[in-house]
Amino acid sequence: MNVYDFTVKDNTGQDVSLKDYEGKVILILNTATKCGLTPQYDAIEATYQKYRDQGLVVLDFPCNQFLKQAPGTDEEIQSFCEINYHTTFPRFKKVDVNGSDAAPLFAWLKEQAPKDKGDEESKAFEKKVRLLKPFAKSGDIKWNFTKFLIDRNGTVYDRYAPAYPPEKFYADIEKLL
C-alpha cells in the first residue's frame, strides 16, 4: 500500500485520487486558520513555490480537532488562506486526523510514521499542547501543522512536528526531488 491508494475529497467535495500526484514528492499536512502556527502558511507557500517546478506538491487538509481552530466552511477556509497567505497549493475538505473518525489517509500516515521529527523549539511546543490533551495515544497527531513528506514512489519518508517549519527540512525535500 502507498499514498496513491487513497481517494480524498477536495474542498468542493469532489473525489480526488492521490494517484493524480504519482511521481511527485508530496508534503501532506493538517492545518488550521485560527492557530498560533497559522503563519506557517507563508513558509509552506514559499516551500511550494521554491520546489514545485522540480516536482513538489503540497496537500493541505484543514482539521478542526485542536481547540476548534479551523472554524468555518471549506469555502471560507479556502478564501481565508488565499486572501491572507496567498496560498496556491491544493486544499482539501476538512478532516479529522485522530480518533475513530480519522480520515483513512491520516490513519495510514500515522501508522507509517508514528513519531515527529523536530528540534528543541518543537519539543517545547509539544510540552505546551500536551497539557491540553489533544491526542490520546502514541502516534496520534499532536497539533495543527503536522507534516508528512512522501517520496516519488508514494512511500512516507518522514513526519515533522507542528512547530518545525519546512525550511528546516529542505535538505530532505531536495534529497527526494
Mind spelling out the 3-state secondary structure of the chain?
Answer: CCHHHCEEEECCCCEEEHHHHCCCEEEEEEECCCCCCCCHHHHHHHHHHHHHHHCEEEEEEECCCCCCCCCCCHHHHHHHHHHHHCCCCCEECCCCCCCCCCCHHHHHHHHHCCCCECCHHHHHHHHHHHCCCCCCCCCCCCCCCCEEEECCCCCEEEEECCCCCHHHHHHHHHHHC
One-letter amino acid identity for 114? P
Known catalytic membership, residue 35: yes
Lookup: cell for 95 = 478532516
Q: Which of 8, 29, 35, 103 is catalytic?
A: 35
**Cell numbers 515533522 correspond to what residue?**
160
| Active-site residue set | 35
